[in-house]
Amino acid sequence: MIISASYRTDIPAFYGDWFMGRLDAGTCRVANPYGGRDFMVSLAPDDVDGFVFWTRNPAPFVAALNKISHHGITFVVYFTVVGYPQEIDRSVPRLETQIESFIRIARDFGPHVLVWRYDPVVLSSLTTLDFHTQNFCRICTQLAGSTDEVVISFVNPYRKSRRNLDAAARQSGFAWRQTSESEAAVLTQEFATIATSNGMRLTICAQPQYLITPASPAKCIDADRLSRVAGREISAWQKGNRPGCLCDESRHIGAYDTCAHGCTHCYAVNDRSRAMAALKQHNPESETLSFAAPTSTASRTNVR
C-alpha cells in the first residue's frame, strides 16, 4: 500500500516527530474526516510500498528523510513552491529558502524523488497573468535539474478556499477571481513552454477542462514514479479521490484543520486559528496526528 502523508496537512513541516514515532511503532490511527470510526493504518515495512509526502517546508524533515532513506524506504516529495506575496501566503518560508531546500533534497536523494507543485494558480490584483508568467519562469529556471515534473492547478471555489480568500482580500485590500478557460489556456501554454525548456514536463491536477497540448494529466499518487525511485515494480489500482483525479490507491494519514501555514487558498483548513490550536495541543507521542485523545479500546478502530 502507498501511504500519503498527506494532502490534508503538512506533516514534514509540523508533524515530523510524530511521523517518525509512528513509523517506529509500525502503525498510526487516523480520524475519519467524514464521521464514523477511526481506523488504524499499518506503517510496517512489509505493508508499505512507499510514502508520498506533501509539503511547503521540508527543512524540518530533512533528518527524517535521511533516516527513512537509510532504512531503504521509498518516498516521493511533492513540494509546493509558488512565491506568492505574504497577503496570500502568510507564513511559508521565503522563496529563496524554499528553493535552497528543494535543491538540497534533489542533491541528496535524486531529482526523481521531487515533484514541484506550482498550485493553486491564484489570479488576483497581486498575482496577475504577467506576475505568474514571470514568477513561474524565475522559479522554474532555478529548479532546473532538480525535478522532471511540475504540477499545476487553478484555484477551485471550494467553500473553505473561497471563504479564506475572501477574508484575506478584505483584510489586505486585494481582489481575486476564478480563472477563465481562456486565461488558463494562455498560462498553461506559457508554463509548458517554460517547463520544457528547463527539462520538466507540465501536468495539471484533476482539471481536465484546462488540458491543452503539451500539458498532460497529473497523477500525484503515482506508483510508476515510486517504482522508478525504488528500482522495482510497485503496483496499485488507479483510484482518484474526486472527478478528474488519476491518483493511484493510497491511505492518507493526515488530518484536516491542522496545517498552520495559513495559506489563504487552502481547502484543508477552516481558519488558521483552529489549525494553530491543533498544533499547540498536538502530542507527538499520540497514535493519531490530531489532538483528540487516543482511543483506548481496539474494538473502536478498523484496520486499513
d(CA 292, CA 175): 37
Q: What is the pLDDT of residues 81-140, one digit of tens each?
A: 999 999 999 899 999 999 999 999 999 999 999 999 999 999 999 999 999 999 999 999
Residue 242 has pLDDT above 90, yes or no: no
Residue 303 has pLDDT above 70, yes or no: no
Query: What single letter denotes the amino acid at residue 44?
Result: A
Please report the pLDDT score of residue 302 as a whole number. 38
Residue 300 has pLDDT above 50, yes or no: no
Residue 228 near residue 214, CB atoms below 8 Å: no
Please report the pLDDT score of residue 304 as a whole number. 36
pTM above 0.85, yes or no: yes
Query: What single letter denotes the amino acid at residue 101?
Result: S
Q: What is the pLDDT of residues 4-40, one digit of tens each?
A: 999 999 999 999 999 999 999 999 999 888 777 899 9
Confidence tier at 159 by pLDDT (50, 70, 90)? confident
| 3-state SS, residue 210 | helix
Provide the b/e sequence for 242-274 (b: ≥16 CB within 10 Å): eebbbbbbbbbbbbbbbbbbbbbbbbbbeebee
Residue 34 near residue 296, CB atoms below 8 Å: no
Please report the pLDDT score of residue 174 as a whole number. 97
Please report the pLDDT score of residue 63 as a whole number. 96
Residue 222 has pLDDT above 50, yes or no: yes
Please report the pLDDT score of residue 271 as a whole number. 83
| 3-state SS, residue 70 | helix
d(CA 83, CA 117): 11
Describe the chain by its helix, strand, coil percentages, rounded to 5.
40, 20, 45
Length of the chain: 304
Please report the pLDDT score of residue 216 as a whole number. 96
Lowest mean pLDDT among 18-22, 153-157, 175-179, 185-189: 153-157
Please report the pLDDT score of residue 170 as a whole number. 96
35 or 64: which carries more pLDDT confidence? 64
| DSSP notation for 32-87 | -TTSS--EEEE--TTT-SEEEEEES--GGGHHHHHHHHHTT--EEEEEE-----TT
Contacts of 284 (CB under 8 A, 6+ apart): 15, 17, 18, 21
Question: Strand 2-5's sheet: what is its strand order?
Answer: 216-217, 201-204, 149-154, 114-121, 75-80, 50-55, 2-5, 250-252
**Average pLDDT value for residue range 168-187:** 96
CA dist list (Å): 133 to 54, 72, 168, 186, 190:
24, 39, 23, 10, 7
Confidence tier at 291 by pLDDT (50, 70, 90)? low
Lowest mean pLDDT among 3-7, 191-195, 238-242, 282-286: 238-242
